[in-house]
Structure 1
Amino acid sequence: MSQLNRRDVLKFAGLFAGGALLSPLADRLAQAADGPKKRILFFTKSSGFQHSAITRPADAPTKLAFAEQYLTDIGAKHGFEVVCSKDGTMFTPENIAKFDAFAFYTTGDLTKDSDKYASVPKKGPDGKALKDDKGKAIVEKGALLWKEPGMGDAGKAAFLEAIKQGKGFMAFHSATDTFHSAKHQKGELIRDVDDKGQDAFDPYIQMIGGEFIVHGAQQKSLLKAVDPKFPGAKAYDNADFSEEWYSLKNFAPDLHVILVQDPAKMTGPMYQRKPFPETWARMHGKGRVFYTSMGHREDVWQRPEFEGLVVGAMQWITGQIEVDVTPNIKQVTPDADAKQFAAGK
C-alpha cells in the first residue's frame, strides 16, 4: 500500500480509537494495510421492494448502483476489495471461500429468482397511455434489464454455515426485511428480547439478529450511541435527522447494541414504543455480524458519519480490529418489545 494510504489508515485509527495516533488500534490497522486486501461481496438482490440506492440504471444495467459504487469506493480507499453482485448463484462453497466477508442490502426470499424488467406505459386502443383512477400511469413489464438468480436453499445454507464458521457479515437497511420468519408471514408477532422460541425464527433472522416489521413516513428521529467506543458510533450520539426508520422485532438476546432508536417524538403507530436497537453487532458462532437500519436514501450514505461507521464495521467484521461486543440489549433497551403496539402486523 502507498505511504499516503498508510497515513490515512493511521489517521482514521487515531480518530476512532479516541487516543494518540500510535495507539494499539492504529498499529493493528497499519499492519492490516500492508497485508493482502480483505475481499467483501456486496450482495444487492431484491426479491421484494428494490430501493433506489441499489437500483442500476435501466439504460446501463451493468453500471453499479449508488450504494454499490459507494461501498466499492470507500472499500478501495481503506484497503478493501469490494465485489458487487445481484447473482445468487455466487453462493457456492467454492465462491464463498474466496471472500472474507459479505455485505447485504437485500429484500425478500433470496433463494428465488427475481429478474428485473423495464417498466413501460400501458397503452389503450387509441395509442394513449392508460392511467388508473388516481391519474397515475399504468405500467407493464418490458424488456429484461438484468437477471437476479436466486441462491437456492443450498446456497442459503452454505452462506449461513460460512458465517457461523468465521466469515464476516454486515448489512444495511432492508437486510432485515429479508428471509422473514414463518410467523411474520402469517402476520403474527414474536416477542422481542426473549431467550425462548428462537428456533421459530428463520435461521437468517437468527444470524442477523433482528427482523423488520414496518416503517412509517420518513421523518426525523433521535439516535443514542450506547457504545460510543465502536468505531464511528460516537458521531451519531444525539443525532437527529430524517430517514426511513424501521420498526424492528425479534432481537437476538445476545445483541450488542451500538445505536438506540428513541421514538419518543416520532409520529405513526408503529413508533409508539420504547427505545429499541437500531444499529448492533453480535457474534454468530465464530462469525462477526453488524447491522444498521440506516441507508434508505442516497444522501444518508453521503453523510461523513456514515462512512466512519461503515468503515469501522468493515474493519471489525474482517478481524482487522477488535471491539468489545458483549451482549447489552437487556441493559440498554430492556423494553424493546414490539408487542407493546398493535400496528406492527
Structure 2
Amino acid sequence: MDIHKPKPWRGPRKRLGEIGAIAVAVLIAGPALAQGGAARPSAPPPTAPSPPNGPPGQPPPTGYRPQSVVDGVQVETPYFQDTLAVLDNLPTSAPARPKRARKVLVFCKAGGYVHSVIPLTAFAIGALGDRTGAWATTITYRLQDFTPERLANYDVVVLDNTTGAFLDDADPVATSARRAALLSYVRSGHGLVLTHAAGDAYHTNADSPGGPKSLWPEYSRMVGGFFKWHWLLPQQVTVKIDDPRSPINAAFAGRPFTIHDEIYTFEQNSFSRKNVHVLTSIDYSKMSPADKAKEPAETRRADGDYALSWVRREGQGRVYYNALGHSEHVLSVPAILQQLTAGIQYAAGDLAANDSPPAR
C-alpha cells in the first residue's frame, strides 16, 4: 500500500488481526502501526512532546495524554486498549437505511494542538461504518487529498479535531483553493461533521490584542462558532438534551447525563441559537459555583448558553458538530457513539432531522 494515499478503512477484524501480531509492542510502546497498513519498523520509543500548559520534560496535567505527534509527524494509530473500548460499545445498527452506498472521508491533519484522540476518533468512525453498514470510511492526514476532485468522491467529510489553520501551508494559492473547496463541497449539498477541536480553528486567542476574532469568518459561520476557553479534563458537567425529539438524540431517551471531559466554550458573538439547532448543552444551573468560577470573567457568556452539539444547514449542505470528545474514554460511551452515528447519517442526507434554528 502506498502510505501517501488516503487509506480506506479495512474493518476492525482485519485491523485487530494486524495489531494482535505485535500486541506486546503496542502495549509497551503505544501506537506502532500505520493506519490501515502494515506495521512500521520497530524503533526506540521517541521522546514525548511537550504536554499542554507545561514545560518540556514534565508530565501532562492530570488526565492529559501527550500530543499525538512524534518528531513533527502525527501519529496515525490509536492505542490498542482504546480500540477495544470502542469495539465493545459499538451500536449494532444505524438509525436509518442509507439511500445509497455512502463514503466518508475522515480528515485528521491538525494545524495547532495535536489531540491524542485524533487516531481513535478516525478508528471509531471507521468501526461504526463497518459495524452498521452505513458507510465506507477513508482516513487521511494529507493536505494533498483536500481537492475538489477528491472531495467529490465522498458524501461526508469529517474534520477530526482539526485545530488551527489546518488547510493552510506556505503556498497562498493552494491554501485559498483548499478553503474554497471545503466551502463549495458543503454548500453544494454534501455533509460536514466536526469533532471536538474542529471548533478550535481559524481564530485568535482570548488574550490576543482586541480579543478573539475569526481568521476565516466563512468557516466560523459554517461551524456555528469558534472556541474561546475550556474547562480542563476531567471537568464533570451535566448534559441537557435540548431536543429530545431529534432522531440524532434518540440514544439519550430524553434523559440528561453527566460526563467528564475537556469542556469547550464558544466566543460570545460567534455562537448563537439564531444560527444553529442545538441538540445538547451544559446544564449550567447544575454547575457548582466553584466550577463556574474557574472560567475567567472575560470569557464567560453573558447568556449562560453553553451548547455542546448542534446541527445547521450551510447552503444545501448539512453540518453536525459535537464539542465532546477530547478524552478517549468519551468514545466508549454507547450513547455518544450512537449520536455520532446518527450525526454522520444526518450529514449524509440519510437521516431526516430538524435543523432549523428556533423561530426568531
TM-score after normalising by structure 1: 0.66
Which residue of structure 2 lines up, in the alignment, with residue 107 of structure 1? 163
Which residue of structure 2 lines up, in the alignment, with residue 173 of structure 1? 196
Which residue of structure 1 lines up, in the alignment, with residue 115 of structure 2? 51
Q: Which of 252, 263, 276 is equivalent to 2:284? A: 263
Which residue of structure 1 lines up, in the alignment, with residue 340 of structure 2? 310
Q: Give the aligned residue type for 2:113.
A: F
Which residue of structure 1 lines up, in the alignment, with residue 135 of structure 2? 80
Distance 2:207 2:128 in 1: 35
Partners of 1:110 and 1:151 within 8 A in 2: no
| 2:147 maps to 1:92 | yes
Q: Closer, same or farther in 2 for the Cα pair 1:44/1:324, shift >3 Å? A: same
Distance 1:186 1:164 in 2: 33
Which residue of structure 2 lines up, in the alignment, with residue 323 of structure 1? 353
Q: Give the aligned residue type for 2:324.
A: M
Q: Closer, same or farther in 2 for the Cα pair 1:49/1:182, shift >3 Å? A: closer
Distance 1:75 1:186 in 2: 44
Partners of 2:320 and 2:343 within 8 A in 1: yes
Partners of 1:254 and 1:329 within 8 A in 2: no
Distance 1:181 1:323 in 2: 33
Q: Closer, same or farther in 2 for the Cα pair 1:269/1:8, shift >3 Å? A: closer
Q: Give the aligned residue type for 2:277.
A: H
Query: Residue 36 of structure 1: CA displacement?
Result: 3.8
Distance 1:182 1:299 in 2: 28
Q: Which of 224, 227, 231 is equivalent to 1:209? A: 224
Q: Closer, same or farther in 2 for the Cα pair 1:154/1:184, shift >3 Å? A: farther
Summarize deviations over 1:162-215 as a string: whole Å, max 9, x none: 10111100111000111226999645257xxxxxxxx98621111111110011
Aligned length: 251
Q: Give the aligned residue type for 1:86.
A: Y
Q: Closer, same or farther in 2 for the Cα pair 1:185/1:37, shift >3 Å? A: farther
**Structure 1 residue runs without a partner (length 5+):** 1-6, 14-28, 55-64, 115-149, 191-198, 331-345
Q: Closer, same or farther in 2 for the Cα pair 1:37/1:184, shift >3 Å? A: farther
Q: Closer, same or farther in 2 for the Cα pair 1:161/1:97, shift >3 Å? A: same
Query: Residue 240 of structure 1: CA displacement?
Result: 1.2
Q: Which of 65, 71, 75 is equivalent to 2:125? A: 71
Partners of 1:110 and 1:152 within 8 A in 2: no
Q: Give the aligned residue type for 2:130.
A: A
Partners of 2:248 and 2:353 within 8 A in 1: no
Q: Closer, same or farther in 2 for the Cα pair 1:157/1:94, shift >3 Å? A: same
Which residue of structure 2 lines up, in the alignment, with residue 194 of structure 1? none
**Structure 2 residue runs without a partner (length 5+):** 1-90
Partners of 2:203 and 2:212 within 8 A in 1: no
Partners of 1:44 and 1:84 within 8 A in 2: yes
Q: Closer, same or farther in 2 for the Cα pair 1:8/1:221, shift >3 Å? A: closer
Distance 1:329 1:51 in 2: 37
Which residue of structure 2 lines up, in the alignment, with residue 227 of structure 1? 243
Partners of 2:239 and 2:258 within 8 A in 1: yes
Q: Which of 253, 256, 263 is equivalent to 1:245? A: 263
Q: Closer, same or farther in 2 for the Cα pair 1:184/1:204, shift >3 Å? A: farther
Query: Residue 75 of structure 1: CA displacement?
Result: 1.3
Q: Closer, same or farther in 2 for the Cα pair 1:237/1:211, shift >3 Å? A: farther
Q: Give the aligned residue type for 1:213.
A: K
When Rg is computed on C-alpha atoms for both structures, the one with the higher figure is 1
Summarize deviations over 1:224-262 as a string: whole Å, max 9, x none: 111112234251742111110001121153210111122
Partners of 2:202 and 2:215 within 8 A in 1: no
Query: Residue 46 of structure 1: CA displacement?
Result: 0.9
Distance 1:327 1:184 in 2: 31
Which residue of structure 2 lines up, in the alignment, with residue 299 of structure 1? 329
Distance 2:359 2:203 in 1: 22
Query: Residue 152 of structure 1: CA displacement?
Result: 1.7
| RMSD of aligned alpha carbons | 2.8
Query: Residue 8 of structure 1: CA displacement?
Result: 5.2
Q: Closer, same or farther in 2 for the Cα pair 1:232/1:321, shift >3 Å? A: closer
Distance 1:183 1:311 in 2: 33
Query: Residue 269 of structure 1: CA displacement?
Result: 1.8
Distance 1:329 1:175 in 2: 27
Partners of 1:256 and 1:329 within 8 A in 2: no
Q: How many percent identity over aligned positions?
A: 25
Which residue of structure 2 lines up, in the alignment, with residue 290 of structure 1? 320
